[in-house]
Homo-oligomer: A and B are copies of this chain.
Amino acid sequence: MVTKNKSKVRVIPLGGLGEIGKNITAIEYGDEIIVIDCGLAFPDTEMYGIDLVIPDITYLVNNKSKVKGLFLTHGHEDHIGGIPYILRQLNMPVYGTKLTLGLVKSKLEEHNMLSDCTLIEVKAGESVKTDNLKIEFIRTCHSISDSCALAIQTPQGVIVHTGDFKVDYTPIDGEVIDLQHFAKLGKQKVLLLMADSTNVERPGYTVSEKIIGENLTRIFGKAKGRVIVASFASNINRMQQIVNSSLHYGRKVAFSGRSMEKISDIAMELGYMHLDKNNIISVDDIDKYPPEKVTIITTGSQGEPMAALSRIAYSTHKKISVQKDDLIIISASPIPGNEKLIARLIDELFKKGAEVVYNALEEVHVSGHACQEELKLMHSLLKPKFFMPVHGEYRHLKRHKLLAESLGMDSQNIFIMETGDVLELSRNSAKMAGRVTSGSIMIDGLGIGDVGNIVLRDRKHLSQDGILTVVVTIDKESFTVLSGPDIITRGFVYVKESGDLLKEATELVKEEIDKCMDKRITEWMVIKSNIKCSLGEFLYNKTRRRPIILPIIMEI
């Protein structure tokens, strides 16, 4: 031990609390920091034009020399999606299981930075040591293979981070959650538990993935033509089950959609999915087989407009179009916010003549997160001294706190924290100890953080009522208007439908400018502000709309 035994452990969630996505947590002891996960979040509806959101890691960058490594629980985007952006600012070794690293690798390749990064594979059951800490990888079940919880042994005690998990006694890959290991940790005493709160509102148990396979096989049995299944590309066990159902009926399998092709390749290469090459066909060749011998596994289960299934539905897919007798299965449930997109997609598929099966009708999807009874099991195995609910919006964290209390935990020992809060722990105590810089970095195209609140506010405003540009050229010597004012609009009204509105508006602006010229006002700001004011009022009275008004004065 290099550091004095008396250092406290600091646990700092830098994302993922009070929000869904961009999970990242720092654990600091003395002069060491380890980082757990580094995910991205998808933009809120208010984040107009934003592609992705990543966590602000200023705190880690400011403590660069302390950071020992990034430890990954599993390979979902909300746990690994931020890595390419973060490693550019802070290059640290990345530890994870084989599949998780396989997905990270492909991501880093796309960003052309794989050669600069260090990826270190760890198997479930193994551990990694730093000077003062020991990080154990513990097998869990989730909707992606090779998921792990992490137990971090610190000089003050053990911290357990469940990652995302569910308790599945009959997982498809046979990799049952390592309950014994959790029990052993509980026996030895756990200082702090950080546990997944996603499904805490749901009573009972999450159904085993295996049930979905049985349902799929039954539904496949009714198909007269092709079966097209949309699912999350990362759900490799689901993919395996779709493959199994297909083989059961002698169907060949085609993969459609970039991420589906990519992840199925990685999964097969690394041994997480088993499918004989003879049974794989290219999307180019599907028409060479009788429809009842073809399954297509595709992206687009969330109704994403550019994903394969939407392109199939709206007839913009180059190679696949809906045929009579197609049976389409949406083996996923809507991520909140996507409900309407998915409903529209299902409508379109029905209209094109396909049969569509989705979760409202048949159980063709199951969550990857623990429901109440599974959470109780985890709490009861680990019996932690302190507890911090993680992965969830505020109401989830709050419910998870109540759940822990219902198991007898002291409410003083439970910490509902926000991103950036610091929890300081010793062997016998835990307390909130200030905050560090944290937040969201928005990514728009190539820009990382160059779009902020003012730009977003403008985009929202533009989306509501459009913009109206007023241009005038003025001779600043003689105070005369040389050209204009001209009004050009976008997103405001149909010029043809607007009657005399814009003509009247132009007249109004002309008067306003003439007044300023007469008064010899040379302060352009004043003229602009006068134009904005009177034009804004005029337009609001006429239309009840408030477009952005952009007065531009060209002076000669």
Known pairs A49-B464, A350-B395, A462-B462; A482 contacts B493 (CB<8 A): no
Residue of B whose beta carbon sits closest to that of A445? B544
Provide the A455-470 mask, 1 if CB < 8 A to any CB of B, else 0: 1101111111111010
| A507: Cβ under 8 A from any B Cβ | no
Contact between A486 and B49, CB atoms less than 8 A apart: no
A:484-506 near B, CB below 8 Å: 484, 486, 488, 490-494, 497-498
| A548: Cβ under 8 A from any B Cβ | yes
Provide the A403-439 mask, 1 if CB < 8 A to any CB of B, else 0: 0000000000000000000000000000000000000
- In the assembled complex, how far is the CB of residue A353 from the closest CB belonging to chain B, in whole angstroms? 10
- In the assembled complex, how far is the CB of residue A127 from the closest CB belonging to chain B, in whole angstroms? 36
| A89: Cβ under 8 A from any B Cβ | no
Residues of B within 8 A of A348 (CB): 394
Residue of B whose beta carbon sits closest to that of A346? B395
Identify A459's interface contact among B340, B343, B463, CB under 8 A: B463
| A108: Cβ under 8 A from any B Cβ | no
Residue of B whose beta carbon sits closest to that of A339? B336
* Interface size grouping (class) on chain A: 35 or more
Contact between B552 and A350, CB atoms less than 8 A apart: no
Provide the A101-116 mask, 1 if CB < 8 A to any CB of B, else 0: 0000000000000000
Known pairs A469-B469, A555-B483; A494 contacts B460 (CB<8 A): no
Known pairs A491-B455, A554-B483; A463 contacts B343 (CB<8 A): no
| A1: Cβ under 8 A from any B Cβ | no
| A449: Cβ under 8 A from any B Cβ | yes
Bound together, the chains give a CA A348 to CA B18 distance in angstroms of 10
| A361: Cβ under 8 A from any B Cβ | yes
Contact between B554 and A473, CB atoms less than 8 A apart: yes
Bound together, the chains give a CA A488 to CA B524 distance in angstroms of 15
Known pairs A482-B556, A491-B462; A395 contacts B343 (CB<8 A): yes
| A356: Cβ under 8 A from any B Cβ | yes
Residues of B within 8 A of A498 (CB): 450
Residue of B whose beta carbon sits closest to that of A356? B395
| A62: Cβ under 8 A from any B Cβ | no
Residue of B whose beta carbon sits closest to that of A338? B339
Contact between B394 and A445, CB atoms less than 8 A apart: no
- In the assembled complex, how far is the CB of residue A555 from the closest CB belonging to chain B, in whole angstroms? 6
Contact between A445 and B543, CB atoms less than 8 A apart: yes
- In the assembled complex, how far is the CB of residue A497 from the closest CB belonging to chain B, in whole angstroms? 4
Please indicate which of the listed interface residues A393, A451, A454 has the most CB atoms of chain B within 10 Å of its own CB: A451
| A444: Cβ under 8 A from any B Cβ | yes
Bound together, the chains give a CA A544 to CA B497 distance in angstroms of 34
Identify A483's interface contact among B455, B473, B491, B492, CB under 8 A: B473
Residues of B within 8 A of A542 (CB): 446
Contact between B347 and A465, CB atoms less than 8 A apart: no
Bound together, the chains give a CA A244 to CA B397 distance in angstroms of 33
Provide the A341-359 mask, 1 if CB < 8 A to any CB of B, else 0: 0011011101100001000
Residue of B whose beta carbon sits closest to that of A447? B543
Contact between B455 and A494, CB atoms less than 8 A apart: yes
Contact between A450 and B347, CB atoms less than 8 A apart: no
| A471: Cβ under 8 A from any B Cβ | yes
- In the assembled complex, how far is the CB of residue A40 from the closest CB belonging to chain B, in whole angstroms? 17
- In the assembled complex, how far is the CB of residue A542 from the closest CB belonging to chain B, in whole angstroms? 7
Provide the A522-556 mask, 1 if CB < 8 A to any CB of B, else 0: 00000000000000000000111100101010111
| A265: Cβ under 8 A from any B Cβ | no
Residues of B within 8 A of A544 (CB): 445-447
Residues of B within 8 A of A459 (CB): 462-464, 466, 491
Contact between B464 and A347, CB atoms less than 8 A apart: no
Contact between A466 and B471, CB atoms less than 8 A apart: no
Known pairs A463-B49, A473-B473; A488 contacts B550 (CB<8 A): yes
Residue of B whose beta carbon sits closest to that of A449? B497
- In the assembled complex, how far is the CB of residue A215 from the closest CB belonging to chain B, in whole angstroms? 16
Provide the A382-398 mask, 1 if CB < 8 A to any CB of B, else 0: 00000000000111001
Residues of B within 8 A of A462 (CB): 459, 462-463, 466-467, 490-491
Bound together, the chains give a CA A398 to CA B360 distance in angstroms of 14
Residues of A with Cβ closer than 8 Å to B? Answer: 18, 44-45, 48-49, 201-202, 336-337, 339-340, 343-344, 346-348, 350-351, 356, 360-361, 393-395, 398, 444-447, 449-452, 454-456, 458-467, 469, 471-473, 482-484, 486, 488, 490-494, 497-498, 542-545, 548, 550, 552, 554-556
Please give me the 10 A-B residue pairs with the lowest Cβ-Cβ distance, nearest first: A445-B544, A463-B463, A462-B462, A458-B491, A347-B394, A459-B491, A49-B464, A450-B497, A483-B554, A48-B463
Some 9 contacts from A to B, beta carbons below 8 A apart, are A45-B340, A350-B398, A445-B544, A450-B493, A462-B467, A462-B490, A473-B482, A473-B556, A490-B548
Known: A48-B491, A450-B494, A490-B550. 8 other contacts (CB 8 A): A444-B545, A450-B497, A452-B494, A456-B491, A459-B463, A469-B552, A471-B471, A483-B554
